[in-house]
Amino acid sequence: MSFQPIEDTLGDLLEKWAGQMPDHDFMVYPDRGLRFSYSEFNERVDKMAKGLIAIGVQPGDKVGIWANNVPDWTTLMFATAKIGAILVTINTSYKLAELEYLIKNADLNTLCIIDGYRDSDFVDMIFQLVPELKTSQRGHLRSEKFPELRNVVFLGPQKHRGMYNTPELLLLGNHVDDEVLEKRKEGVNCHDVVNMQYTSGTTGFPKGVMLTHYNIVNNGQGVGDNMKYTPDDRALLCVPLFHCFGCVLGVCAVITHGVSMVITEDFDPLMVLAAVQKEKCTAIYGVPTMFIAELNHPMFDMFDLTSLRTGIMAGSLCPIDTMKQVMTKMHCDEIIIVYGLTESSPGMTTTRTFDPPEIRATTVGKELPGVEVKIIDPETGEKLGPNQQGEICCRGYNVMKGYYNDPEATRNVIDEDGWLHSGDLAVKTDEGFYQITGRIKDVIIRGGENIYPREIENYIYNMPEVEMVEVVGLPDEKYGEIVGAFIKLKEGKSLTEEGVQDFCRGQIARYKIPKHVFFVDDFPKTASGKIQKYKLREMGAEQISSKK
């Protein structure tokens, strides 16, 4: 079947379904008893869009959202899309140093936040970073550190100094004429950037990946087609919306097919199982560790999961036994695997619903329609044949527009012929399935979260006692990999493992903090003086197992 790209924007698709099936469930939060039909949701989106216009958000302005899966996360995703603004997604695990970098680097105009997440108080952190908020009139913010930042919006009814809250935003929207919104919608093109997601860079600094409506709508369409989605489906999303997994493979697959989505604000295996039974979900999303937690929950057998049919497992490779259990015990005999990266919007390859369990557990399937995939020799760039290991690259509608304000970094990953270089090693089998075999770039994947060692190394170098630091991924049964740091101290200086961890706490995301810190006199090196990270991994794994 030939690929027929969709040229609708996110706003077009929402309005299409709101017109065709106004009373059909769009979004359900089972634990809150909250339910929006397509038309109710579209109405709320329009009010929010007019509220953003009222506070001065212009086409191309960046609107950051720092929240877990609260209901208005999705409202903001569509409201910004309708007025030509760009939604910048912010990881809820971010701490002060990471947030400061992102607000500055993305040139945020407006930041929308909740009260906090886990051990982080977002309101307090914003007041630390932007002290001017306490004395600013709303809408008149002038920050010395962040010259572009004009508004902070609190997602909820609570009032905080210098911030708008949701009821105020919606109220302000009432004073904006519908015609103003219509005019803004008409100015939005499917090739406009709609979403910016930050991915850690091998240079140590995260980069803003610019994704267009065309990128993410077509990716959602392709992935939804592979799951045979129809409006009769009900998809359970318990993965974070701030990742492409949630907002593209989830929300965009939903909006292209008129599916209903059932959302949990955070991942809780018991809540997920209860939500599937209560809402008769037909699809479920997660990384392998989430499925393992659901299958191993002591109350698993109490729930009726027979409504399930399909879903997506992504983020890291799935053990064959887990895949078989998901297909049998959870009734997801049509579950698929998706492989890709933020820069490819994110899906590049997927398995199909009819592939046997072994194929779904050991490969990442075949290319999505409209996407070309090839494996090349990383040294020469020459295309390789079946069963030859090389770098997996893709070209097509799904390749990002580029990194924000970083043409050089963009050129480093997208070549002159439009091929996106993933940095992952793979082979193509004789049957045409792709298997990911390793990584060229130095990334640690901990439970589906990508961590770049350079970013952590750069932070630890701020410690006056540290002469050299190398960060590597160490094997871990639960997360696949965890962070290990090898440190050479300056002469006469001393440090403890706890001291290093305490230095990182509150400044970088918890999942990036080294779980293990090893102090060394020197590092294993090649003849040319390059540090051999694989040897550090071996040393670390050995020391961990000897402690058990």
Name the domain boundary from 328, 347, 376: 328
Q: What is the pTM of this model?
A: 0.87
Residue 111 lies in a domain: yes
Average the pLDDT over 483-490 and give the result: 94
* Residue pLDDT, tens place only, 105-155: 999 999 999 999 998 999 999 999 999 999 999 989 999 999 999 999 999
Contacts of 505 (CB under 8 A, 6+ apart): 513
Residue 353 lies in a domain: no
* Residue pLDDT, tens place only, 308-364: 999 999 877 777 888 899 999 999 999 999 999 999 999 999 999 999 988 988 899
SS (H, E, C) 173-229: HCCCCHHHHHHHHHCCCCCCEEEEEEECCCCCCCEEEEEEHHHHHHHHHHHHHHCCC
CA separation for the pair 304, 285 (Å, rounded): 17
pLDDT at 78: 98
* Residue pLDDT, tens place only, 351-386: 999 999 889 888 999 999 999 999 999 888 999 999
Say if residues 191 and 214 touch (Cβ distance below 8 Å).
yes
What does the DSSP assignment read for 433-478?
Answer: -EEEEEESS--EEETTEEE-HHHHHHHHTTSTTEEEEEEEEEEETT
Are residues 318 and 453 both part of a single domain? no
Are residues 318 and 458 both part of a single domain? no
State the CATH number of the domain containing residue 471: 3.30.300.30
* Residue pLDDT, tens place only, 419-457: 999 988 899 999 999 998 877 777 888 988 888 887 898
Res 258 pLDDT > 60: yes
* Residue pLDDT, tens place only, 181-204: 999 999 999 999 999 999 865 455
Residue 386 lies in a domain: no
Q: Which residues pair with 66 in a beta bridge?
A: 113
Residue 239 lies in a domain: yes
Per the structure, the count of domains in the chain is: 2
Residue 419 lies in a domain: no
Are residues 156 and 303 both part of a single domain? yes
The mean pLDDT value of the chain amounts to 93
CA separation for the pair 422, 439 (Å, rounded): 9
State the CATH number of the domain containing residue 172: 3.40.50.12780
Considering only CA atoms, which of 273, 288, 354 is closest in space to residue 320? 288
pLDDT at 218: 98
Residue 429 lies in a domain: no
Angstrom distances, CA of residue 38 to CA of 14, 231, 262, 279: 7, 11, 13, 17
* Residue pLDDT, tens place only, 71-94: 999 999 999 999 999 999 999 989
Range of the domain at 258: 10-328
Name the domain boundary from 300, 328, 356: 328
Are residues 310 and 458 both part of a single domain? no
Average the pLDDT over 386-404 and give the result: 96
Average the pLDDT over 396-417 and give the result: 96
Full strand arrangement of the beta sheet holding 480-489: 466-476, 480-489, 516-519
